[in-house]
Structure 1
Amino acid sequence: MTDTARPAPAVAAGILLALGVGLVGCSAPAEPETAVERAPFLIDQDFADPDVVEGDGVYVAFATENQGANVQFATSTDLVSWDVSTDDALPDLPEWASAGRTWAPDVSERADGSFVMYFSAEHAASGKQCIGSATAATLTGPYVAVGTEPMVCPLEEGGAIDPAAFVDDDGSRFLLWKNDGNCCELDTWIQIAPVSADGTQLAGPATRLVMQTESWEGHLVEAPVLVKRDGTYVLLYSANDYGSEDYAVGAATAPSLLGPFEKLPDPVLSTSSTDDRYLGPGGQDVVSTPDGDVLVFHGWDDLFIYRGLAALPLDWEGASPSVRLSTAD
């Protein structure tokens, strides 16, 4: 990932063209109010909590379980047209996990060129969600779970979900997650801890970064993604009820990895900020391309039955992110 912002003409324009957003040179006369036209999904089926990794010129998106796959995945060469695989990136769950609640995978490359996946799954002994790790020689897997116990499983905090890897400038590896406190009337904290060089084990204590404090966040924060821009650590996260149009993406910045993080007062992406073109956007990931950053996320269909894949250009003013809805923004 780069530390400087730059325009995103090629990939961004392709995404905007695909969505039919913001490429008209002049506006039409005002019309009577009509039903909102939703933006089309890039993957128009249930493909929630996307994590996107580039390898050898191909983007691979991993997502929460669906249609019998513990971890589903899709491939693309342009972040616009996607081919959803019928394979399962994590065909076998570890013995500590129960089937049916495998969420929010995160994949990153290791120093030796192999890959590590983090995933949330139901801890069979407690019924709470915990985080496991798995490894594979190739980006699309199949991934094989590591160990007989979860990697992160703070049952006294409600469990843990939404893992996200971060590699700092010096190559040191970290894992972020959210304690699933809203399951049990506890606070939710986005936390970070160092991990081993191979990425499969925690290598130190966790540090709490942010919790729910803003009115728009409702009762929880979750789905962390950490990037570094303009020498500043930028934490993107989702908040509020994932099953409603109140779900949204926020951001916080810090001068050092462990904070303190200062939140932006308003979401950077929400139903209202997109003029209702996306319902409950969240579960986001930041994808760095040769043409600039792209925010990949999910949103609900009109009937709130499934969450499809969407993407929009992500611009930066220093370390402050903004989601571009049109070329005029």
Structure 2
Amino acid sequence: MKQTPILSNQQQFELSSDQSLPCTFNIALYEVGGKQSECLFKVSGQDTQGAKKTVLYTLADREHHSYLDLFAKLSRDFGLRVPQNRIKTIPISPSFETAYNEILTENIHPDILYGYGDPAVIRVDRNTQTIYYLLATSNDAPHSFPLLRSSDLKDWQFVDFIFPEGKKPHWAADGESASDYWAAEMHQIGDEFRIYYVARENENAELCIGMVSSVSPEGPFVSCKEPVLKGNIIDPHIFVQSAEMVYLYWKEDNNDVWPGKLIELLNDRPHLTSILFEHEEDRRTASFVQTLWPWIETLPPMERFQAMQVLIEVIISNFASFYTRLSEQMKTEDERSQKQITEVLKYMKTPMYAQQLSADGQHLVGQPTKILENDLPWEAHLVEGMWVTEHNDTFYLFYAGNDFSTDQYGIGVAVSKSPLGPFTKMHEPFLKSTADWWAPGHPSVVMDTEGKYHMFLHAYFPGKAGYKEFRALLSVPMIFEEDKVRVG
């Protein structure tokens, strides 16, 4: 902590709980040096023994691990829930064992800052040669979307960045904590190579899907003037059934919306906090986050998630039960509260859609088809990061579910006879966390020159899951058997 006395800093927020909450707090919050810098929190309240206390905390920076450390200390002093990544947890299934192939476990270029999240691998056969290409998420790094190549799916070399520093699309936000360049995929469609990706729009910070194209898989790439699709959506996936029949898949990023809607509901109807949260530590957590909300809602999107994550973990620890309690509560509330609850319940579902693309790949044709949403217990509040593979006239949709920043995250699979579904899910995850690797997610599937299938995915080192933390590139061999798939 800086040695400057707290009262010499400009006070930004003075926050007090509604007195009808099960736990009440007074929070004086100081931003030292303005936004994106150190924060000081002076928190007053009662501990679990009923003793009044005041504690001063420092949020040294706005990184994910700093928020987790802050809430771990609040748990110690005021009985809030401990963040999952600050507990020495056992992975989601201790008996689950998979020999993940460790492909890239460190950054191979100094400007690749966060590893290989959302890895999209494709095979390109040109001039009697087979080359594999990999694109990865870059978050808010100055250089966006590292492109790598390999001849054997094991050894990878850096090629370039799709958007080097200063070369971002004109419509997309740029800068630390302002931009999120996620989930880029390259696919060959006829003689053209197209990359679809996620970025935030300049004007409103809303997540959109953009596209660039080239006659070569190594560029140079030409960017579309405007996003292909807007509306707070992420994780574009392209399935090329033929040069004339290409589908765009995407997911509504509703999990970015419902926590804020829920807090607004709880602040309007404080009595719901005691009804919806069954355990004392969860009520304390909800009460604290509700009190802090006027400050949280001023934060950039991903930092807002970091400040709310502990409350999100409370809810997704038994998501189906909370969803049911909230649904049942509508019967006893007034019309205004019913509308608010209906909106929260809507955003607690994260549907995936698919729709045909136009010949130039810049527009959608016809109407979207909803193909999947979170409805299994292990998925909790979201499904995302999909990839479709066709084998023997069967379409396999691989996807991720649960919270990306905990060891509860995993990969599921659904099967259909059509690229537009209906898809039938396996009830349990296809891949889960192990003792060595946490939060396997956002898969892609490629077939090698011997006809064998490989799934590529990202994962964190144990205890290191979180936004802008390093994600390694892993793979597993795959075998398709009579409408089923297993690790080879």
Taking a change above 3 Å as real, the CA distance of residues 171 and 64 of structure 1, as seen in their structure-2 partners, is same
Q: Which residue of 1 aligns with 2:317?
A: none
Give RMSD over aligned pairs. Answer: 2.1
SS of alignment partner, residue 315 of structure 1: strand
Q: Which residue of 2 aligns with 1:70?
A: 144
Taking a change above 3 Å as real, the CA distance of residues 39 and 169 of structure 1, as seen in their structure-2 partners, is closer
TM-score, reference length from structure 1: 0.80
Q: Which residue of 2 aligns with 1:133?
A: 211
CA contact (8 A) 1:134 1:200 kept: no
Q: Following the alignment from structure 2 to structure 1, what is the Cα–Cα distance between the partners of residues 481 and 101?
A: 28
CA contact (8 A) 1:244 1:280 kept: yes
Q: Shift in Å at residue 68 of structure 1?
A: 2.7
Q: Following the alignment from structure 2 to structure 1, what is the Cα–Cα distance between the partners of residues 367 and 188?
A: 23
CA contact (8 A) 1:90 1:144 kept: no
Q: Which residue of 2 aligns with 1:109?
A: 188
CA contact (8 A) 2:189 2:240 kept: no
Q: Which residue of 2 aligns with 1:96?
A: 171
Q: Which residue of 2 aligns with 1:42?
A: 103
SS of alignment partner, residue 266 of structure 1: coil
CA contact (8 A) 2:101 2:476 kept: no
What is the identity, as a one-letter code, of the residue corresponding to 1:277?
Answer: D
Q: Following the alignment from structure 2 to structure 1, what is the Cα–Cα distance between the partners of residues 414 and 162?
A: 32
Q: Cα deviation per residue 1:196-246 (whole Å; 9 max; x = unaligned)?
A: 112222122211101000111010000111121221221111111111111
Q: Shift in Å at residue 170 of structure 1?
A: 7.5
Count of residues in correspondence between the two structures: 280
Q: Following the alignment from structure 2 to structure 1, what is the Cα–Cα distance between the partners of residues 122 and 418?
A: 25
Taking a change above 3 Å as real, the CA distance of residues 124 and 173 of structure 1, as seen in their structure-2 partners, is same
Q: Shift in Å at residue 47 of structure 1?
A: 1.1
Q: Following the alignment from structure 1 to structure 2, what is the Cα–Cα distance between the partners of residues 300 and 124?
A: 30
Q: Following the alignment from structure 2 to structure 1, what is the Cα–Cα distance between the partners of residues 148 and 387?
A: 20
Taking a change above 3 Å as real, the CA distance of residues 38 and 259 of structure 1, as seen in their structure-2 partners, is closer
2:452 matches 1:308: no
Q: 1:290 aligns with which of 449, 452, 467?
A: 449
Q: Following the alignment from structure 1 to structure 2, what is the Cα–Cα distance between the partners of residues 243 and 72?
A: 22
Q: Following the alignment from structure 2 to structure 1, what is the Cα–Cα distance between the partners of residues 252 and 181?
A: 16
Q: Which residue of 2 aligns with 1:160?
A: 233
SS of alignment partner, residue 216 of structure 1: helix
Q: Shift in Å at residue 190 of structure 1?
A: 1.1
2:158 matches 1:84: yes
Q: Following the alignment from structure 1 to structure 2, what is the Cα–Cα distance between the partners of residues 287 and 242?
A: 23
Residue segments in structure 2 that go unaligned for 5+ positions in a row: 1-96, 107-114, 259-346
Q: Following the alignment from structure 2 to structure 1, what is the Cα–Cα distance between the partners of residues 172 and 399?
A: 26
CA contact (8 A) 1:38 1:276 kept: no
CA contact (8 A) 1:90 1:143 kept: no
Please show how residues 215-226 of structure 1 align to structure 2 within 5 Å: 215-226=377-388
Q: Following the alignment from structure 1 to structure 2, what is the Cα–Cα distance between the partners of residues 198 and 286?
A: 25
CA contact (8 A) 2:101 2:475 kept: no
Q: Which residue of 2 aligns with 1:28?
A: none
Taking a change above 3 Å as real, the CA distance of residues 317 and 130 of structure 1, as seen in their structure-2 partners, is same
CA contact (8 A) 1:93 1:145 kept: no
Q: Following the alignment from structure 1 to structure 2, what is the Cα–Cα distance between the partners of residues 194 and 54?
A: 22
Which structure carries more strand by proportion?
Answer: 1
Q: 1:318 aligns with which of 482, 485, 488?
A: 482
2:178 matches 1:178: no
SS of alignment partner, residue 239 of structure 2: strand
Taking a change above 3 Å as real, the CA distance of residues 164 and 127 of structure 1, as seen in their structure-2 partners, is same
Q: Following the alignment from structure 1 to structure 2, what is the Cα–Cα distance between the partners of residues 40 and 322?
A: 15
Q: Shift in Å at residue 257 of structure 1?
A: 2.6
SS of alignment partner, residue 163 of structure 2: coil
Residue segments in structure 1 that go unaligned for 5+ positions in a row: 1-35, 325-329
What is the identity, as a one-letter code, of the residue corresponding to 2:435?
Answer: D
What is the identity, as a one-letter code, of the residue corresponding to 1:207?
Answer: T
CA contact (8 A) 1:229 1:318 kept: no
Q: Cα deviation per residue 1:281-301 (whole Å; 9 max; x = unaligned)?
A: 011100111231100000002
Q: Cα deviation per residue 1:61-106 (whole Å; 9 max; x = unaligned)?
A: 0011165321111111111111134x21233322221023110001
Q: Following the alignment from structure 2 to structure 1, what is the Cα–Cα distance between the partners of residues 122 and 98?
A: 30
Q: Following the alignment from structure 1 to structure 2, what is the Cα–Cα distance between the partners of residues 286 and 231?
A: 16
Q: Which residue of 2 aligns with 1:142?
A: 220
CA contact (8 A) 2:99 2:476 kept: no
Q: Which residue of 1 aligns with 2:416?
A: 254
Q: Following the alignment from structure 1 to structure 2, what is the Cα–Cα distance between the partners of residues 44 and 84?
A: 14
Q: Following the alignment from structure 2 to structure 1, what is the Cα–Cα distance between the partners of residues 152 and 116?
A: 18
What is the identity, as a one-letter code, of the residue corresponding to 2:187?
Answer: S
2:123 matches 1:54: yes
2:287 matches 1:123: no
CA contact (8 A) 1:90 1:141 kept: no
Taking a change above 3 Å as real, the CA distance of residues 38 and 234 of structure 1, as seen in their structure-2 partners, is closer
Q: Following the alignment from structure 2 to structure 1, what is the Cα–Cα distance between the partners of residues 418 and 431?
A: 24
What is the identity, as a one-letter code, of the residue corresponding to 1:49?
Answer: D
Which structure carries more helix by proportion?
Answer: 2
Please show how residues 262-277 of structure 1 align to structure 2 within 5 Å: 262-271=424-433, 275-277=434-436
Q: Cα deviation per residue 1:153-193 (whole Å; 9 max; x = unaligned)?
A: 12xxxx11111111125741110011111111112111101
